[in-house]
């Protein structure tokens, strides 16, 4: 029995060739209100999303809410890690999807899969996610790259966006789904991204490198004896 051509597109998985990364309101002032996760982890994860989008050649669109005010500017890692990112200035709209230029930037990519992370989770991530779903987009929300002021707020928001049709994911899962395989020339760069998502991964790399070095030394010793 043959699989319909559009079957994979209907699955809740990320197709890198159809995806757009929306990084919304990751601002230094707003980060000071985050209490559902360590601010340093949120910052690493947001930067990691930008890096993986660059590796996979996924368009990135960013925006900020009143960056000249107390919300502060976007953290610098996002545009440093994704120099191809397009920034869209808003005119006071709380929901980024209410800004016509933001929606236009998404539409111009010609893609229909959105990977969304934003601070504050219950507003900056949730509002555009729900609006985009209503407009026919497939939406993935990255929960641990979106921060909010309490764990309760995070849980309520997660329930709301799932009910609306969004697929919740964590940053490492997004990386793995986009990467797809270690059999690729840039595998080392993907490994480096994982060390930023969870620094403990660096220990895994170091133990692997040590084992490889011991194996190599053993092969050289056997060769010398032979």
Q: What CATH number does residue 96 fall under?
A: 3.40.50.850
Contact 56, 92 (CB under 8 A): no
Kindly state whether residues 33 and 115 are assigned to the same domain: yes
What is the reported pLDDT for 197?
A: 95
Structural domains counted in the chain: 2
Q: How far is CA 157 from the centre of its chain?
A: 18
Asked if residue 2 has pLDDT above 50, the reply is no
Asked if residue 109 has pLDDT above 90, the reply is yes
Q: Give the structural domain span for 206.
A: 200-225
Residue 128 lies in a domain: yes
Choice among 20, 124, 158, 166 that is catalytic? 124
Residue 193 lies in a domain: no
How far is 33 from 149, CA to CA, in rounded Å? 6
What is the reported pLDDT for 201?
A: 83
Asked if residue 130 has pLDDT above 60, the reply is yes
Contact 83, 53 (CB under 8 A): no
Kindly state whether residues 120 and 77 are assigned to the same domain: yes
Span 7-54, pLDDT tens digits? 556 678 999 999 999 999 999 999 999 999 999 999 999 999 999 999
Residue 4 lies in a domain: no
Asked if residue 3 has pLDDT above 90, the reply is no
Minimum mean pLDDT range among 35-39, 95-99, 132-136, 202-206: 202-206
What is the reported pLDDT for 220?
A: 58
Contact 149, 35 (CB under 8 A): yes
179 is catalytic: no
Asked if residue 207 has pLDDT above 80, the reply is no
Asked if residue 103 has pLDDT above 60, the reply is yes
Percentage of the chain exceeding pLDDT 70: 87
Residue 80 lies in a domain: yes
**pTM value surpassing 0.85:** yes
């Amino acid at each position: 029995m043959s699989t319909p051509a559009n079957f994979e597109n209907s699955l809740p998985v990320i197709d890198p060739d159809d995806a757009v990364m929306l990084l919304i309101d990751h601002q230094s002032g707003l980060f000071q209100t985050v209490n559902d996760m360590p601010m340093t982890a949120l910052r690493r994860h947001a930067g990691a999303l930008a890096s993986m989008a660059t590796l996979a050649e996924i368009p990135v669109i960013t925006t900020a809410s009143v960056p000249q005010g107390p919300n502060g500017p976007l953290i610098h890692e996002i545009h440093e890690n994704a120099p191809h990112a397009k920034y869209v200035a808003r005119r006071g709209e709380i929901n980024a999807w209410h800004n016509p230029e933001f929606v236009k930037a998404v539409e111009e990519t010609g893609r229909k899969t959105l990977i969304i992370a934003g601070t504050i989770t219950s507003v900056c991530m949730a509002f555009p996610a729900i609006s985009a779903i209503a407009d026919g987009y497939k939406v993935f929300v990255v929960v641990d790259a979106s921060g909010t002021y309490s764990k309760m707020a995070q849980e309520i928001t997660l329930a709301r966006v799932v009910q609306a049709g969004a697929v919740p994911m964590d940053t490492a899962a997004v990386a793995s789904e986009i990467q797809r395989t270690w059999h690729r020339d840039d595998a080392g760069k993907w490994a480096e991204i994982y060390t930023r998502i969870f620094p403990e991964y660096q220990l895994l790399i170091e133990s692997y490198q040590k084992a490889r070095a011991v194996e190599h030394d053993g092969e050289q010793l056997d060769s010398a004896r032979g």
